[in-house]
Structure 1
Amino acid sequence: VSQLHRIERFAAMTTTGDRADLADVPEDAPVWAHATSTRDNCLGQECPDYRDCFVMRARRNALAADLVVVNHHLFFADVVLRDEGIAELLPACNTLVFDEAHQLPETARMFFGESVSTTQLTELARDARLELRAAGGASPELDRVATRLDKAARDLRLALGEPGARLAWTQALRLPDFPGALEKLQTCLKELERPLAEQAERSEGLASCARRAGGAVAVLARMGESEGQAEVRWVEVYGHAAQLHVTPLSSAELFRRQMMDHPRAWIFTSATLAVGEDFKHFTRELGVPEAETRRWASPFDFAHQALLYVPKGLPLDPNDPAFTQAVIEAALPVLEASGGRAFLLFTTLRALRRAHELLRSRIGFPLLVQGTGSRSELLSRFRTLGNAVLLGSQSFWEGVDVRGEALSVVVIDKLPFAPPDDPVLAARIESIRAQGGNPFTELQLPQAVLQLKQGAGRLIRDETDRGILMLCDPRLVARPYGRRILRSLPPMKLTRRLADVEGFFRDYQSGSQIRHQGALLRRPSGVR
């Protein structure tokens, strides 16, 4: 309730309605579901708050602007709505510039696929009851059907077991309670769809609920169809919800069709589009093999600003149960030399949690951990503290900018190869193999290189930054492909000696003192 009051006060003060501006309420707080509308339940012009809606206000501003800045998700949401003939979120334009374009293929696959979540279905059950009452009537039978749908959706989530899993559809169907829970959910959804369709003319809200029910029935029906060669069916399990997906294996043809249907300038930029000098992975993923490509050198002097440290003595197999402990033991003297001021980035949440257990009683620096606050809040604390150590996973590998002395070390535990049992990746691997290709060199290795470059890019953000990039995966030097990965990184001097790291920070501290003294000596010359 207190969080809802904070949101209410924020809504009265904000001019944008941007949730990220309200740090007091975590981004994943369940209360947001009661305070925000979605594509599913938005009433459009029928909404009593339409004129004051933050989204509509932003759209009006966009229509009047010469330059519009949006994220990838809003762009694709606009594409989907235009293709369905429902609405347009963004104005027409003659030039599109995509920054962080390395994310586009995955985002496109998500939007060009179909999905339904248990959260959507519990919200549908809730909204159906509310809309019926708002329309001036009540139906005990519809109430009962909605309650059964709510329970069936929650039971489906429980049938999937522990959170954090990504299951192929065939795996999910082998779980003892899942097929029965799925059948029950489909039955309850169809039982709700029929009375909603009969009541749809009574209000826009009920009509919206009827459309949502019909859409969910269609997605669940698709989930039961035999899997085509160009798509994969899978399930994602969260703490209190599950999402069922039908995802295209490639977004290339779909994205290319968008480009052909809308002739204009399409520009894609990112620090991580190329593997070395090679753009083929990106252009193939996006379906633009004929695109003109160009790469510019970084303005940073990596040879002098940074040092790449690959420690010795770690287990040769990064999947060794003792690997995370070995990473922490190797990182401790580096943290001591740097005085904290470090990001420790992990490829899994399990490794992050283990690192937290190992570090919390062994360092004298402030320790910040992903999940204990919003990303923006943790970054603000990290910058303010000046000597903190931050443990992060996926969300801290990119889109994070900490300049200056607050960040002088980035430690990465393993090469970020996606787990081969991930249902989408496994299906894509099989598809490449069936076409006679090499999944490792065409997909897995390029993805890992680009992700590693993103993580490494957190270190040097300015011409005056200096720091250590510590990569703990022995495969960088033990496997032939390690050389290709190293060549793709910024041109930093490579060392395997801890003494070089300690010397780097001694030289850095001496240089800082000299610069500081020089500033003190020069300052009086400007006094009058």
Structure 2
Amino acid sequence: MNPSASEVLGSDGPLANALDRFRPRAVQQQMAEAVERALQQGEHLVVEAGTGVGKTFGYLVPVLMNARRTILSTGTRNLQDQLFQKDLPLVRDALVGAGLGRVPRLALLKGRSNYLCRHRLALAREEGSHGTRGQADQLIRIERWSARTERGDIAELSGIPEDSPLWPRVTSTVDNCLGSECPEYEECFVVRARRRAQEADLVVINHHLLMADLSLKEEGFGEILPSADAFVLDEAHQLPDVASAFFGRSVGSRQLLDLARDSVAEQLREAQDMADLREAADAVATAVAALRSVLGAGTGRGPWARHQDNDQVVEAMNTLVERLGGLVMWLDTAADRGKGLEQCARRANTLRDRLVAFLEPEPDTVRWVETFTRSFALHATPLSVAQRFGERMRAYPSAWIFTSATLAVGGRFEHFTGRLGLEEAQTLCLDSPFDYTRNARLYLPPNLPPPNSPTHTAAVVEAALPVIEANPGGTFMLFTSHRALREAADLLEGRLERQLLVQGTAPRDELLERFRAAGDAVLLGAQSFWEGVDVRGRALSCVIIDKLPFAAPDDPLLEARLAAIREAGGNPFMEYQLPQAVLSLKQGVGRLIRDVTDRGVLMLCDPRIRTKTYGRLFIDSLPVIPTLDSLAEVVGFLMSDDETIHEAAGH
């Protein structure tokens, strides 16, 4: 009789025998037992697994032992690659080596935009105009790589920025893919990836790809989901926001400009006599630029209601709809000239319909505008996805496991389960096994001004400086706004004897690499550094957080959701704003202790922790960390060397 998943993760199990640094953890075994039961009984399970539980092994062992067809979805492409290239092979080889089950077929599947499109690469080559000299050089690199790559995953090609304007030109979207009519169809990397996924026992995807299918927005994955026996969703705290985006409708300037450019390229290939089509496409591009200019010079989010009474915006929007209609007419006329023009015609019709629909308000939907330096996006987002997500999930009568380090608020899951319509899910809250009582300290600096004070950031910097200087290791300073981050960076410039790294001055991965290498650097980060960052050891031994991470009150989605709760007789602060802030804080705090030998100080610089009654909920949702009352105690803890911490780190 085969052992249970819990036994496999025990001191005498195959993982302990195969991995030198593996150490059994009771909470990990408890998670594996719950996941195994959910898989066998087809249950819905929600698991919060604190830092150090080892949740990846906690679900991979029962999944691989279960030998059923499984979809494993993660929050980001980086996590996909980590799972597929490292964690899955590790667990699989240990289990197979112990004679526990057959060798499963594994597949990695990403969205279309992650794979090179040979057809669009040819179009980019024929088009000839590549912007800067640097982009021309990048295109040459992409062409050389295209001749040797087997999977076409653009993550293989380093050295070209993720935001390079070339990538949208040499990858496809649902809108511009020619499908089986494409001359490169049999050699298509997306088609090959799907075929591998169809034949696999376990497929690693990400939440965006999962939601594209669940929301019935074709991404070529629909033929795989119905055959799955189990779904495991890691980093599940990201799901409600991802689901909101996919159950809504959006149209952006990039889609419209891509359409205009592709229409010109296809006209030159397939209908050179139709100069009017090219003029219509150029008119759309001009109208897009005009609408962006009247939406204002700033960047950020705002409700459409702020713009809909602006005569300039209304005129620019009407002009765009009109110009797009003209392009639709010419593309419909030219559609029979070739598959490329036929596809452009379909895209133009779809985008025009979305634009027209955006102008018509819908119940329980918020319309909002997102502006960037040179672009914009128009969104219509449902206030709640609970009913729709719950219905789509239940359409697949399989086991569904949701897990993350941050799902519970004060030990309760109602906020998360309510947002996704998980009405009958089993829940399990597993605390971190790390010894926070011995290895960590919480410092709430006294006499700081309130967070809305114009002097707050300066006061945070002054309070942080002696802590940073006393810390022999590295320090994260996490901010709730980019404005505060920039102000702190200016205030710290030239005042530190160690390296200062600031978000925005280099790619995130490069900053983290430099931070780890320095060992005692100071890194200033905003939202993207609050989660998904793993720095172990002394290189990160102090985390300083400027404010409790309440979402910006002027965010249009938040405004609308709070208003809906208020109109229903609820308390929007207690029911939405506070739980969201607690979960965000837990993510930031989770950066501090990443291994059993880690130790450090958490410094929270928001006086509301002490002065507001809700401050207790934040503290109660964190691991139990002793509080230090004075700077001297903080300095003493940071400079001490705890000789008792020598236990080896485990998986």
For the criterion TM > 0.5, the same-fold answer is yes
Is 1:254 the counterpart of 2:388? The answer is yes
**2:643 maps to what in 1?**
511
**1:438 maps to what in 2?**
571
Residue aligned with 1:294, SS: strand
Map residues 26-41 of structure 1 onto 2, 5 A cutoff: 26-41=161-176
Counterpart selection for 1:303 from 437, 440, 451 = 437
With a CA cutoff of 8 Å and minimum separation of 6, indicate the structure with the bigger relative contact order: 2
Counterpart selection for 2:184 from 43, 49, 52 = 49
Counterpart selection for 1:457 from 590, 602, 606 = 590
Distance 1:375 1:64 in 2: 35
**2:518 maps to what in 1?**
385
Q: Note the alpha carbon deviations across 1:260-291, whole angstroms, 9 max, x for none.
A: 21111111001111002110000100001321
Map residues 64-213 of structure 1 onto 2, 5 A cutoff: 64-81=199-216, 88=222, 90-91=224-225, 92-175=227-310, 177-213=312-348
Q: Note the alpha carbon deviations across 1:24-82, whole angstroms, 9 max, x for none.
A: 2222232322232222212222333334433333222222221111110111123345x
Name stretches of at least 5 consecutive residues in structure 1 with no aligned partner: 516-528
Distance 1:35 1:399 in 2: 29
Give the aligned residue type for 1:444.
Q
Give the aligned residue type for 1:78.
D
Residue aligned with 2:204, SS: coil
Distance 1:62 1:261 in 2: 21
Give the aligned residue type for 1:322.
T
Distance 1:132 1:224 in 2: 30
In the TM superposition, residue 93 of structure 1 has moved relative to its aligned partner by 0.8
Distance 1:14 1:332 in 2: 49
Distance 1:47 1:388 in 2: 51
CA 146–366 in structure 1, closer or farther in 2 if over 3 Å, else same: same
CA 356–2 in structure 1, closer or farther in 2 if over 3 Å, else same: farther
Distance 1:494 1:51 in 2: 63
Contact 1:341 1:387 in 2 (8 A): yes
Is 1:401 the counterpart of 2:534? The answer is yes
**1:488 maps to what in 2?**
621
**2:466 maps to what in 1?**
333
Q: Note the alpha carbon deviations across 1:447-480, whole angstroms, 9 max, x for none.
A: 0000110111011111111111111111111111
**2:61 maps to what in 1?**
none
Q: Note the alpha carbon deviations across 1:304-348, whole angstroms, 9 max, x for none.
A: 1111111112112x1222211111111111111113511111111
Distance 2:395 2:528 in 1: 34
Is 1:291 the counterpart of 2:291? The answer is no
Distance 2:634 2:298 in 1: 40
Distance 1:5 1:479 in 2: 59
Q: Identify which range, 468-477 or 29-38, moves more after superposition.
A: 29-38
Give the aligned residue type for 1:105.
P
RMSD: 2.1
In the TM superposition, residue 414 of structure 1 has moved relative to its aligned partner by 0.8
CA 505–9 in structure 1, closer or farther in 2 if over 3 Å, else same: farther
Contact 2:271 2:337 in 1 (8 A): no
CA 87–195 in structure 1, closer or farther in 2 if over 3 Å, else same: farther
Is 1:370 the counterpart of 2:503? The answer is yes
**1:479 maps to what in 2?**
612
**1:520 maps to what in 2?**
none
CA 12–498 in structure 1, closer or farther in 2 if over 3 Å, else same: farther
CA 261–40 in structure 1, closer or farther in 2 if over 3 Å, else same: same
Distance 1:392 1:354 in 2: 12
Give the aligned residue type for 2:257.
T
Distance 1:307 1:253 in 2: 42
In the TM superposition, residue 417 of structure 1 has moved relative to its aligned partner by 0.6
**1:524 maps to what in 2?**
none
Q: Note the alpha carbon deviations across 1:169-188, whole angstroms, 9 max, x for none.
A: 11122446322211111111
Distance 2:194 2:530 in 1: 31
Give the aligned residue type for 1:469.
L
Contact 2:299 2:370 in 1 (8 A): yes
Q: Identify which range, 297-306 or 54-63, moves more after superposition.
A: 54-63
Q: Identify which range, 248-257 or 54-63, moves more after superposition.
A: 54-63
Distance 1:285 1:14 in 2: 41
Distance 1:443 1:308 in 2: 26
In the TM superposition, residue 435 of structure 1 has moved relative to its aligned partner by 0.7
CA 85–165 in structure 1, closer or farther in 2 if over 3 Å, else same: closer
Give the aligned residue type for 2:643.
G
**1:468 maps to what in 2?**
601
In the TM superposition, residue 408 of structure 1 has moved relative to its aligned partner by 0.9
Give the aligned residue type for 2:161.
P
Name stretches of at least 5 consecutive residues in structure 2 with no aligned partner: 1-135, 647-651
In the TM superposition, residue 203 of structure 1 has moved relative to its aligned partner by 2.2
Q: Note the alpha carbon deviations across 1:127-147, whole angstroms, 9 max, x for none.
A: 011112222534111111111
CA 21–417 in structure 1, closer or farther in 2 if over 3 Å, else same: farther
